[in-house]
Amino acid sequence: MVSTAPAGYALVTGASSGIGAAIAREYAQRGVPLILTARRVDKLEQLAAELRGKVQVEVIPADLSDPKAPEILAAEIQRRGLPVRILVNNAGYGVPGRYLTKDWPTHAQFLQVMVGAASELTWRLLPAIRASGHGRILNVASFAALVPGADGQTLYAAVKAYLVRFSESLALENLDRGVHVTALCPGFTWSEFHDVTGTREMMSKLPKWAWLETDAVAKAGIDGVERGKVIVVPGRVYRLLRFLAKHLPDSLVLGLMGRNSKKIRKVD
């Protein structure tokens, strides 16, 4: 396939599975060359082999829990001479259980991946993204960022809310340079996420209407950032829930979250 997309690569973090892999596939369908990064090299290579018939794909493994990883990753991109036009900050995971059930190094590593790495990669790559004249930054947040926090979700909702506010400010700062910045806020999505957190059995009890497909989430995010939407909430149900959360009293919504937290989160 000959790419008709503007020149420049899309860097997708956490591209080995789930929403990250779906975003990579969607960009490949649109003729955008890719830089894929994650910890699991075998998964990255499998995805790269799948997509190389459509676009050029570079694989650069990185463990973003290492504070040095963003600088090393950016330096390797520069060494290979790969112009980055699109940055997708997707890498992430969840830490199940209440705040005090985990030691501080576990939380610190989580914050490094979810906040530190996303912020630093953006800082390091933003000059090139701005220079392209039509750059894009897609931060994969969560519907959890848009409603009161749930029991057992202490840092997860907080870091996703950070990504929303980060995206809003970046969008305003870079609008005059042709850069669109979007926070993608999906609800429950079929992926490895709940297997990693050990909540798959619990989550399987949720009704089918609560679940989104990764392909649909990826398409919504990319369509949204192309249109210049700053916040994208995929799915009619979640858009309705967001509307209700914004217009109902905070105390009522917080009470509902408290009563239902144990159905969707490990809280012990």
The per-residue pLDDT for 200 is: 43
Contacts of 260 (CB under 8 A, 6+ apart): 150
**How many Å from the N-terminal Cα to the C-terminal Cα in the chain?**
51
Task: Tally Cβ neighbours within 10 Å of residue 260.
Answer: 12
**Is position 110 within any domain?**
yes
Residue 63 lies in a domain: yes
* 3 found inside a domain: no
- Residue 57's nearest CA partner among 129, 1, 134 is 1
pLDDT band of residue 211 (cuts 50, 70, 90) is confident
Catalytic residues: 156
In total, how many domains does the chain have?
Answer: 1
Per-residue model confidence (pLDDT) at position 254: 67
Residue 227 binned pLDDT confidence (cut-offs 50, 70, 90): very high
Q: Could you list the residue range(s) of the whole structural domain that residue 218 is in?
A: 9-264
Q: Say if residue 11's pLDDT is above 90.
A: yes
In the DSSP assignment, the letter for residue 53 is T
Q: CATH number, domain at 136?
A: 3.40.50.720
CA–CA gap between residue 60 and residue 173 (Å, rounded): 29
What is the pTM (predicted TM-score) of this model? 0.88
For residue 152, the model assigns a pLDDT of 85
Q: Give me the residue label for tokens 């330096």.
A: 75
Residue 201 pLDDT more than 70?
A: no
pLDDT tens readout for residues 237-250:
999 988 988 887 77
Would you state the pLDDT for residue 258? 59
Whether 115 shows a pLDDT value over 70: the answer reads yes
Q: What's the whole-number mean pLDDT along residues 87-112?
A: 96
> Is 29 contained in some domain?
yes
DSSP class of residue 204 equals T
The answer to whether residue 222 sits within a structural domain is: yes
- Among 60-74, 116-130, 145-159, 237-251, the range scoring the smallest mean pLDDT is 237-251
The mean pLDDT value of the chain amounts to: 89
Assess if residue 2 is contained within a domain: no
